[in-house]
Every structure is written in C-alpha cells, then in structure tokens.
Amino acid sequence: MKRVLSEKDIKEAAKKGNKTIKISSNIVVTSAAKDTAKSLGVTIEQLAETKADITETKKEKPKYKGKIAIGSDHGGFQLKEKLKTYIEELGYSVVDIGTTSEEPCDYPDFAFAVAKLVSSGDVEKGIMIDAVGVASAMVANKISGIRAAACQSEFAAKSSREHNDANILTLGGRILGLDLAKNIVNIFLNTEFAGGRHQKRIDKINDIDIRYRKS
C-alpha cells in the first residue's frame, strides 16, 4: 500500500480533473504535495482510521522472537553497527557486547563473549563479525554446545541452519556488502532446523563435543 502522497501524485490527479483526493489516515503527505495541492486547487481529504489500516499496522510490527548477541572486532565494527537496527526490525532484541569503535582489538575476546551467551542460553543465537568471519568461527567453536558457521552467501546461511542447526553466524565485515549481509542474517535467524536425517549428524557432533570436553 502506498505510504506517501507526493507532489507528483497531486499533479497527476489535477491533470485528470480530480479536485479532491481521499486518502487513509496513515498516509504521509509531503510538504511539496500540500503546496502543489493548494496552488492547483486540489483538496486532500484524510479519512478516519479504518479496521484495515489498524490490521495492516499490526502486521508491520513483527512478533518478538528473542534475544540475539552480536559482537565484532575493529574489522567488523561498521557492519555490526549497521546490522543492529535491521535485526531489531526482524523482531529480535539485540545484546551488543562490543567492540565500540574501530580501534584495534582482539577478535577472540568478543567471539568468546558471544559464544558464552549462546552456550548459557541467555540468548537464542549469536552473530560475530570480524574482517573475514573465519577466525571468529574458530574461536566460537571451542565453546561447548556451539556450532558456529562462517557464511558468505545466502545458500550457506540456509544450509547451516537447516542441516547443521548452527547457533552462531560469523560474517566478514571487509568482504560483505550491507545488502548481502542483511540477507544472510535474515535467512540465518529465520530458518528452522530441518531435523529428520540431519538430527543424527548433530547428535554425532554433540557426542564428539562431550567425549573431548575437558573436565
């Protein structure tokens, strides 16, 4: 549904001989549109809010889906900052464990912090961003119960969730564009583990984890 009434819309209406434009209450009218309407003698009439408007507004607010821990080193800081709002728009709350600037720092510290939050169950999943994404996956996978996947494509993100029940996504802040990173995050967070024939393989991963875990 159209969300903005623009100057162009007013001109098109006037060209068709329409002197009154009726719009729903949730449509935003730009200042240019108001000025153009006044100069062309077009009246803008905003209708009272309808049940349809209310229903659509409710649909636009995603259901709360849980907490996501996110961290980065200096190489992933910029991407982390851009992804936080997007993750919240998907319906999650974000626990940002740092870093807080592009000052050089050590990725193991932040990858470990994200992994601990996931391992303890304090958050549903984790996202860690360094320059390439591989190094942080290495760190996170040292923590019991963690299955971290370094993903550079939508297919890898989908497969890591459906087949491997990955609980941490690692990204490369210096190799991924923002749009691709958003797509990967969206797929990773919203793809369910398929179970079935894949479950026995996850059980084997867990068995290795238990057998070689240090007491």
Residues annotated as catalytic (active site), given as ranges:
163
Is the dihedral angle over the CA atoms 96, 101, 102, 106 positive or is it negative?
A: negative
| Whole-angstrom distance, CA of residue 208 vs CA of residue 201 | 11
Tell me the three state secondary structure of residue 163: coil
3 state DSSP class of 195: coil
CA separation for the pair 165, 162 (Å, rounded): 6
Tokens 């209406």 found at: 13
Query: Letter for the amino acid at 84?
Result: K
Nearest residue to 76 via CA among 176, 184, 200: 176
